[in-house]
Amino acid sequence: MKELRVIISGGGTGGHIFPAVSIANAIRELRPDAKILFVGAEGRMEMQRVPQAGYEIKGLPIRGFYRPLWKPQNIGVAIDYLKSKRMAKQILRDFQPQVAVGVGGYASSAALGAANSMGIPTLIQEQNSFAGLANKQLAAKAAKICVAYEGMERFFPADRILLTGNPVRQSLLDTKVTREEALKTFGLDPQKKTILLVGGSLGARTINESVLAHLKEIEQSGLQFIWQTGKVYNQQITDELKQKGQPKCLVVCDFIADMAAAYRAADLVISRAGASSISEFCLIGKPVILVPSPNVAEDHQTKNAMALVNRDAALYVKDAEAKEKLIPLAIETVADKAKLDSLSKNVLKMALPDSAKIIAQEVLKLTLAP
């Protein structure tokens, strides 16, 4: 059997990295002999997270363009892009993959663009309901386009689209921890309802400000809260809580390593509307209030959120209204068992399981390996 060699490229946020690693793991399950090399952007999260997952990664000096495009800094960005494309071609020549997989993010545009120009088959995986710029550009030459939402033919050639869903962290599905055990790991009471607040892998300023604006309501709610602030905001929040007083029912973490336990502990989640997070909520059937980030291209998080909201599978608060409305809505919702049950039942209907395995099978089909 011919040796299988696969390039996987993309990153920038956990929303790109988790699916990429899940796809790599699924390829390894099907072909344990597979050689897999990641290509990422220097200085971005993937340069740490991918090696932690057990895979080698090469970094490119690629970065995003400034808005508006005529800013003088973009001359340097363009030079780095051309340099990255040359480096990507050399990486491909050295590694000699039979297929390249792109999951979105800066690096994938250079790595898969190079693969396309060298005649290497490419597969792209689009996590969002509104396609990203890199994937829209790469789609013209992609052999297969794996998507998580219906209606994506408005961005991509319909004959190459496959509805697979988004791969999620397998640990979330495999966990055996009970709700009671999960709550104990956070030092919380299994008898009380619990709300989990997460702002994505980097934290979310709006969600953090919403908590700080409602500390009195949190303290008087009779509920428990697990709050992931994000490393960037943690020190400022720690200082503010020292001044204002931290409610005993509020557990504050800069980063939660064991998200499986955090989700299991929660009766309700408050989250940004990143595609990977939404796929996780669908697969585990978790009631959620979504606060889409306004700081993303084409407002795609709002479009992700509305795909659930329109099916009564999630609640939604605009970022601009979150500071006022988010915590009161969460406290009201978590007390409504019928509402929680309905949200859970409806979000489960939207799950697309086995995504990573289905995508891995498509990757193998594109290779020359038997």
**CA neighbours closer than 13 Å in the CB half-sphere of residue 260:** 12
Is the predicted pLDDT of residue 77 greater than 70, yes or no?
yes
Q: Which of 13-27, 82-96, 110-124 has the lowest mean pLDDT?
A: 13-27
Tens digit of each residue's pLDDT (9 = 90 or more) over 225-284: 999 999 889 899 999 999 999 999 999 999 898 899 999 999 999 999 988 899 999 999
With DSSP H G I counted as helix, E B as strand and the rest as coil, what are the percentages for the chain, rounded to 5? Answer: 50, 15, 35
Distance CA 288, CA 269 (A): 5
Prediction pTM value: 0.83
- Is the link from the previous residue into 68 a cis peptide, with omega within 30 of 0? yes
3-state secondary structure 307-337: HHHCCCCCEECCHHHHHHHHHHHHHHHHCCH
Q: Which helix (H) or strand (E) holds 35?
A: strand 35-41
Note whether 7 and 98 are within 8 A (CB).
no
Non-local CB neighbours of 133 within 8 Å, separated by 6+ positions: 109, 297
> What are the C-alpha distances in Å from 108 to residues 38, 128, 146, 246, 341?
10, 16, 15, 43, 40
* pLDDT exceeds 90 at position 329: yes
Strands 250-253 and 161-163: unpaired
Instruction: Give the pLDDT confidence of 150-201 residue by residue, as tens digits.
Output: 899 999 999 999 999 999 887 777 888 999 999 999 999 999 999 999 987 6
Query: φ and ψ at 55, to 5 degrees?
Result: -120, 150
Whole-angstrom Cα distance, residue 276 to residue 200? 10
The per-residue pLDDT for range 98-115, each reduced to its tens digit, is 999 999 888 999 999 999
Contact between 167 and 356 (Cβ < 8 Å): yes
The mean pLDDT of 349-355, rounded to a whole number, is 91
| Per-residue DSSP letter, 159 | G
Give the model's confidence band at 369: pLDDT under 50 very low, under 70 low, under 90 confident, else very high.
very low
> Mean pLDDT over residues 54-70, rounded?
89
